[in-house]
Amino acid sequence: MEFSSFLTLDSFITDPLTHDFMRKALLMSSLVAAVCGFLSSYLTLKGWALMGDAVSHSVMPGVVVAYALGLPFSLGAFIFGVGSVALIGFIKQKSRVKEDTVIGLVFTGFFALGIVLVSKIKSNIDLHSILFGSPLGISLSDVKQTIIISLLVVILLSIFRKDLMLYCFDPRHAKTVGINVFFLHYLLLTCLSLAAVVGLQSVGIILVVAMLITPGATAYLLTDKFDNMTIISVLSAIISSLIGIYISFWFDLETGGSIVLAQTFIFLFAFLFAPRYGIFKLKKFFAGYK
């Protein structure tokens, strides 16, 4: 019945825009993607992919508790996100267990707690939308929260953009010239928790880590300049979100999964064809024909 819509690219793009929920989903997901993409270049350079996974899973019980108490879910998520990092640091310091093991056991513990709480607290919490995201069903209060948190993260990252880059590149030099490395460490963790909170609305808790690492990894293959890396990362994240939402609309697919899959395909494309760092080094290929 919708077959005729496929006839033109124009209607492929404009038809969904006639729906209010689609306009909202496209706007919100782009905003979330931009925030996660911005942060992504720092996380990939710092080697914090696993940390991103840990924080994003650990926010689960916080979301459930916040819903049950009628608090903004971002508050609960933030407390548990930062709490998990503190706990990871504490256990690592006080035991002989290796860091990646500690990260793995803490975040799965938190995540399991979240699932158990959902089954116990019989409320109107939609487990499916927490786990897999529901950008098409985002409420007005969620929209407000997302905008506020996103702006906060973007402002923080913009102010400390260069310090954070230095912190990722050479923390020892940062410390030597009197820059507060401790502050930068927790700033990055705070932004990570906040980005996970907004990201889970788009793609859900399970996949939010993709929003936090894939765009950065893609950009890393495409440039040797940090500023360009950030721009490419943000753009690829936004484009993936738009593609994912459109595809999910027309083909009736899970939205969060479609967004992440779009990111993965863009990464694979860069992996194969990046001019300098791709498998088929296109720059060399074309240089041969000059």
Partner 1 sequence: MESINYQNFRIDAENICVDYNGKVALYDANLRLKPGQICGLVGMNGAGKTTFFNALTGFVNISKGKIRINGESVRSAQKDQTIAYVPQNEGIDSQFPINVWDIVMMGRYGSMNIFRCPRESDIQAVKDAIERVDLTDHLSTPIGNLSGGQRKRTFLARAIAQRASILLLDEPFSGVDIRTEKLISELFIQFKNEGKTILLSTHDMIHVREFCDLVLLINKTVVAYGETSEVFTPENITTTFGGISPDFLFGPES
Is residue 150 a contact partner of residue 32, using CB atoms and an 8 Å limit? yes
With CB under 8 A as the contact rule, the residue among 21, 90, 169, 285 that binds partner 1 is 169
170 lines the binding site for partner 1 (CB under 8 A)? yes
Two tokens, residue 251: 């083909």
Site for partner 1 contains 177 (CB under 8 A): yes
Single out the segment in contact with partner 1 by CB under 8 A; choices: 116-124, 138-146, 168-176, 240-248: 168-176
Complex with partner 1: residue 62 or 216, whichever CB lies closer: 216
Closest CA to 109 of 80, 132, 137, 135: 80
Work out which of 15, 163, 247, 271 binds partner 1, going by CB under 8 A: 163
Residue 168 found at the interface with partner 1 (CB under 8 A) = yes
What's the min distance (Å) between Cβ of 164 and partner 1?
11
Smallest gap, in angstroms, from Cβ of residue 216 to partner 1?
Answer: 11
How many chain residues bind partner 1 (CB under 8 A)?
Answer: 25
In angstroms, give the least distance from the CB of 184 to partner 1: 12
CA dihedral defined by 104, 270, 26, 196, rounded to 10 degrees? Answer: 20
HSE of 265, CA atoms in CB hemisphere, 13 A: 11
Q: Does 144 bind partner 1 (CB under 8 A)?
A: no
Stretch that binds partner 1, among 142-150, 162-170, 191-199, 265-273 (CB under 8 A): 162-170
Which residues within the stretch 199-258 sit at the binding site for partner 1 (CB under 8 A)? 220, 223-226, 228-229
Q: Give the span between the Cα atoms of 258 and 233, in whole angstroms.
A: 18
Q: Which of 193, 195, 204, 194 is nearest to 258 (CA)?
A: 204
Residues in 43-102 that interact with partner 1 by CB under 8 A: 45, 93
Burial class (CB in 10 A: 0-12, 13-18, 19+), 120: exposed
Other residues' Cβ atoms within 10 Å of the Cβ of residue 115: 15
Shortest CB 217 distance to partner 1, Å: 12
Residue 209: closest CA among 29, 36, 17 = 36
Measured from the CB atom, the residue of 146 and 214 that comes closer to partner 1 is 214
User: CB 194 → partner 1: shortest distance, Å?
Assistant: 21
Q: For residues 202 and 223, which CB has a smaller minimum distance to partner 1 in the complex?
A: 223
Give the separation between CA 98 and CA 88, rounded to whole angstroms. 11
The runs of H, that is alpha helices, within 70-170 are 73-94, 99-120, 127-132, 140-159, 161-169
Token pair, residue 134, equals: 């529901």
Question: Interface residues with partner 1 (CB under 8 A)?
Answer: 45, 93, 159, 162-163, 165-166, 168-170, 172-179, 220, 223-226, 228-229
